[in-house]
Amino acid sequence: MTEDVSAHSDEPHSNRISQKLNWLRAGVLGANDGIVSVAAVVVGVAAATPSIGAIFTAGMAALVGGAVSMALGEYVSVSSQRDTERALIEKEKRELIEMPEEELEELTQLYEARGLSRATAAQVAEELTAHDALTAHLEVELHIDQEDLVNPWHAAISSAISFTIGAILPMLAIMLVPAPARIVVTFIAVLVALAITGATAAELGGAPKGRAIARLVIGGALALIATFVIGMLLGTTGIA
C-alpha cells in the first residue's frame, strides 16, 4: 500500500531546514558575542571610574563597533561562499553540455555509493537527468540548492541585529543600577543571559546543555573578571 506523503507534510524534506537552523544558531552566537564583549567593556570602565558618561560612551562604542564588525565579517564570509556556489553551478552546467555521458555515469556511481544496485542507480540517474539534470547533480554531487543560495545581506543584517540585542542587556544593567551595585548586577545578569544562550544553542544543535552552558558561563565570567581587574588597576594608578 502506498503511503500518503501528505501525512508527513510537517517534516523537513530538504536542506532548507538545516540552513534555517544554522542561521538561528548564528543568531544565538551573535547575541552571545554582544553580551560578552560589551559587558566586558562596561565592567572594565566601571571598575576604573564611576562616571556614568564614560561608561555609556565606552559601551556604545563597543556596541556599534562590534555590530558593524560582525556584519562586515558575515557579509564577506557569506559572499565568498555564495561566489563559490555560483562558480560550482556554472562549472556543472558546462560539464553537462560538454560531457553528458560522463556526467550520467558519475551520477549513477554516486547513487551506487549510497547503496543502490547498479541497475537501480542507473535507472534513477537516467530519470533524474531527463527531468532536471542540473538539479540532480547539484543536490547529489555538490549538495547545493540553486533556488536557495546563501544571502550575504541577510547574514550581515541578522548578525548585526543579534549582536545589538545581546549588547543591550549589559548596557541596561550597568546604566540603570546605582553605582554601588552596578558591577555585581551586571555580572549576574550577563551570566544568566549566557546560560540561556548556551542552553538555546545546545537545544538547536542537539548537544548536551550542561557542557554548552558551562563553556559560555565560565568563559564569560573569566572575561568579566579580567576586564574588571584591569579597569580597577588602571583606576587605582590614576591612568584612567
Secondary structure of 17-56 as H, E, C letters: HHHHHHHHHHHHHHHHHHHHHHHHHHHHHHHHCCCHHHHH
Among residues of the chain, what percentage have pLDDT more than 90?
Answer: 40
Q: Tell me, what's the pLDDT at 56? A: 94
Cα separation, 196 vs 212, whole angstroms:
10
**pLDDT tens digits, residue range 167-202?**
999 999 999 988 889 999 999 999 999 999 888 888
Cα separation, 177 vs 186, whole angstroms:
9
**pLDDT tens digits, residue range 73-126?**
889 988 998 898 899 899 989 989 999 899 889 889 988 888 889 999 889 888
Average pLDDT, the chain: 84
pTM over 0.85: no
Cα separation, 5 vs 124, whole angstroms:
20
